[in-house]
Amino acid sequence: MADRLKQVVNHIFSSNMSSADPFEKKVNLGVGAYRDDNDKPWVLPVVRKAEQILLNTPSLDHEYLPITGLPEFTTAAAKLILGSDSNAIMEGRVTTVQTISGTGANHLGALFLERFYPWVGKKEIYLSDPTWANHQAIFKNVGITPINYPYYDPKTIGLDFNGFLNALKNAPNKSIFLIHACAHNPTGVDPSKEQWNAIADMMLEKGHYGFFDCAYQGFASGNLDNDAWAVREFVKRGVNMLVCQSFAKNAGLYGERVGALHVLSSSKEAADRVKSQLSVLQRSEISNPPTYGARIVNLILNDAELFEEWKRDIATMAGRIIDMRQQLYKVLTDELKTPGNWDHIVNQIGMFSFTGITPQQSQALVEKAHIYMTANGRISMTGLNGKNLRYFAGCLDKAVR
């Protein structure tokens, strides 16, 4: 716990320190949002177009949305993550509620399970070690105790697959496991398809429940369908689960708080009951979700041309991140001959990368080189660009020698 608190404080501190630092070559690798090659926030061109359409639609008013959200948005959001050919959707077994981005989806999902999950023993959830720091607080807030399951192996800077599988095996039947759908935060380490299949086998054998958190669909590989593969596969195979979805990263709508919670049920009747339970919870929490961001995403998801443009915008963001990974890898291995193995820089996925450097080395980078990152050695790849990559690689090289 103390470690986690330190991580969070360090994260906030490192971003603040970065903005206060007048050093010209400073690099902020603690940032949790996409930055373009000029280190600036990027409003997706497709979002600008959708905003124009909204501005030019005088019939839009500021009335409340239904409690469960903008219906065209929630329907399209479910198809986006579960697939437009999803049997679960066609059979009416999916309940979708619009939420306050991914955080709100996590919270509402946690609250829903706390109230309605058929708990056998203690109210506990298994979280990957490490995980997004907010997960701990979200579950504790609703009276569910977080337990860690092994996920990251510092020796290989990769997945501790056996540790993960053993945790699934040894947990009591019908336990709840939180699973990052793609682009694991903070490690950037995802299971392979083969490993996902083995995880699904074990979840089914043990009757576990999957709490899928999907904050980076499209952001990981640049392709929305590829990044939804694990979620869709688990749904197809009948794993009991829910999915938290965020449009913060893939639509660059961080501050607009657009997200959804999708709960899978075994029948349409059960899904209808879930809908009324979620409506009651949502009513007492936020009454109605906000309109603006949902209207933007609704336009993008439901207009074929805008949707194609969005896919290109996503590919631009993911492509730049992948390019930074490749360039960093090349400079470290080919040019600087930096000691150690740096394969993980290109193998890891999404916005974040666990560099594998020690807290002392990351502290040295902050203090001596004005390079800001979390103490656990996590860097945000979007903080790198054509202008600062070589400076960072050179400093990293010095720090590990």
Catalytic residue numbers read 132, 213, 249
What binding mask, one character per residue, do residues 252-281 give for ligand PMP by CB under 6 A, x or -?
--x----x----------------------
Q: Which is nearer to ligand PMP, 93 or 378 (CB)?
A: 378
Contact between 146 and ligand PMP by CB under 6 A: the answer reads no
Distance in Å, CB of 332 to ligand PMP, minimum: 26
- Interacting residue with ligand PMP among 215, 300, 324, 381 (CB under 6 A): 215
Contact between 376 and ligand PMP by CB under 6 A: the answer reads no
**Region 73-112 residues binding ligand PMP, contact defined as CB under 6 A:** 101-103, 106
Contacts of 155 (CB under 8 A, 6+ apart): none
CB neighbours of residue 63 within 10 Å: 7
- Tell me, letter by letter, the H, E, C secondary structure of the chain: CHHHHHHHHHHHHHHHHHHHCCCCCCEECCCCCCCCCCCCCCCCHHHHHHHHHHHCCCCCCCCCCCCCCCHHHHHHHHHHHHCCCCHHHHCCCEEEEEEEHHHHHHHHHHHHHHHHCCCCCCCEEEEEECCCCHHHHHHHHCCCEEEEEECEECCCCEECHHHHHHHHHHCCCCCEEEEECCCCCCCCCCCCHHHHHHHHHHHHHHCCEEEEEECCCCCCCCCHHHHCHHHHHHHHCCCEEEEEEECCCCCCCHHHCEEEEEEECCCHHHHHHHHHHHHHHHHHHHCCCCCHHHHHHHHHHHCHHHHHHHHHHHHHHHHHHHHHHHHHHHHHHHHCCCCCCCHHHHHCCCCEEECCCCHHHHHHHHHHHCEECCCCCEEEHHHCCCCCHHHHHHHHHHHHC
Distance in Å, CB of 38 to ligand PMP, minimum: 23
Q: Which is nearer to ligand PMP, 32 or 163 (CB)?
A: 32
Contact between 381 and ligand PMP by CB under 6 A: the answer reads no
Distance in Å, CB of 123 to ligand PMP, minimum: 21
Q: Which is nearer to ligand PMP, 252 or 259 (CB)?
A: 259
Q: Which is nearer to ligand PMP, 102 or 218 (CB)?
A: 102
What binding mask, one character per residue, do residues 115-134 give for ligand PMP by CB under 6 A, x or -?
-----------------x--
Q: Which is nearer to ligand PMP, 246 or 362 (CB)?
A: 246
Closest residue by Cα to residue 205 from 182, 230, 175, 179: 175
Contact between 298 and ligand PMP by CB under 6 A: the answer reads no
Rounded to the nearest angstrom, the gap between the alpha carbon of residue 35 and the centroid of all alpha carbons in its chain is: 17
- Interacting residue with ligand PMP among 14, 86, 128, 246 (CB under 6 A): 246
Q: Which is nearer to ligand PMP, 189 or 396 (CB)?
A: 189
Contact between 180 and ligand PMP by CB under 6 A: the answer reads yes
Instruction: Please give the backbone phi and psi of residue 254, each rounded to the nearest 5 degrees, phi first.
Output: -45, -55
Distance in Å, CB of 118 to ligand PMP, minimum: 25
Q: Which is nearer to ligand PMP, 102 or 377 (CB)?
A: 102
Contact between 248 and ligand PMP by CB under 6 A: the answer reads yes
Contact between 32 and ligand PMP by CB under 6 A: the answer reads yes
- Count of residues engaged in binding ligand PMP, rule: CB under 6 A: 14
Distance in Å, CB of 5 to ligand PMP, minimum: 17
Distance in Å, CB of 121 to ligand PMP, minimum: 26
Distance in Å, CB of 186 to ligand PMP, minimum: 8
Contact between 185 and ligand PMP by CB under 6 A: the answer reads yes
Q: Which residues bind ligand PMP (CB under 6 A)?
A: 32, 101-103, 106, 132, 180, 185, 213, 215, 246, 248, 254, 259
